[in-house]
Amino acid sequence: MKTLLRTNTLIISLITLATPTLSFANFFIGAGAGYINAAFHKNITIKSDDSKYSSIDSTNSVNTKFFAGYGWSIHHALVGARFNYTLDNISYTHKGKTTHDTKDNIQSNLGIDMLLGYGWSKWMPYILAGWQLANYSHTSTNLITGSVHSQYNYLNGFQVGLGLNYQIAKHVFTGLNYSYARFQTHTSGSQGSSSITIKVTRPIIQQVTWEISYNF
């Protein structure tokens, strides 16, 4: 009888261990902060002589992220959707050698990601994919006349990533997240016959973020 009770207790313990509490299950909210790298890939045409060249401007910053969403759990698996808003604070000034300085800025971006995760005990690795919209601006300063020309646009893009979460309390999870976002092409310029046209191709944002979330 005692052996049977010990066996039943062991089985129950194993079932309890094997059944995870998934992060992002049901309704959840969270925030995060971390490291961000932005690269502005450019193709540049000088209109006066039709010369062309390419460059990559890269800069680093610290981000702040807020998110909320809902997830559906199926035993060990999780499928969910997450809305996110990130303060990027990205700014890079390209110093011109002759006539112009140019500045690229991404102040923030928002979007929605689909999540797919798998849980074991208190751990849950997951992958994500979704759509992002960046608040982008480009400013060109004429070093000769001092005139400033600015353009403001919202750039669409896609995002992919992965992460690992750990349960630290009944409703509280923490973890690391990596994401890669690539945005559409933006063309700027046209300040007269001698202006340069800068075609910003593939503005790319890579982020490593520490996150904490609360599941309701």
pLDDT of residue 99: 67
Least trusted range by pLDDT, from 33-37, 53-57, 90-94, 160-164: 53-57
Indicate the pLDDT class of residue 189, thresholds 50, 70 and 90.
Answer: low
Q: Which of 92, 77, 44 is nearest to 205 (CA)?
A: 92
Contact by Cβ (8 Å): 61, 90: yes
% of the chain at pLDDT higher than 70: 80
What topology does CATH give the domain 2-215? Porin (2.40.160)
3-state secondary structure 2-43: HHHHHHHHHHHHHHHHHCCCCCCCEEEEEEEEEEEEEEEEEE
Average pLDDT of the residues of the chain: 82
pLDDT tens, position by position, 99-143 = 677 788 898 999 999 999 999 889 999 999 999 999 998 887 877
- Check residue 145 and report its DSSP letter: T
Of the candidates 163, 164, 183, 168, the one whose C-alpha atom is nearest the C-alpha of residue 214 is 168
Query: What is the residue extent of each domain of the chain?
Result: 2-215
Each residue of 48-103: pLDDT tens digit? 666 777 778 889 999 999 999 999 988 889 999 999 999 988 888 877 666 677 78
Q: CA–CA separation, 5 vs 175, rounded Å? A: 38
- Closest Cα to residue 28, out of 96, 64, 91, 81? 81
pLDDT band at 21; cut points 50, 70, 90: low
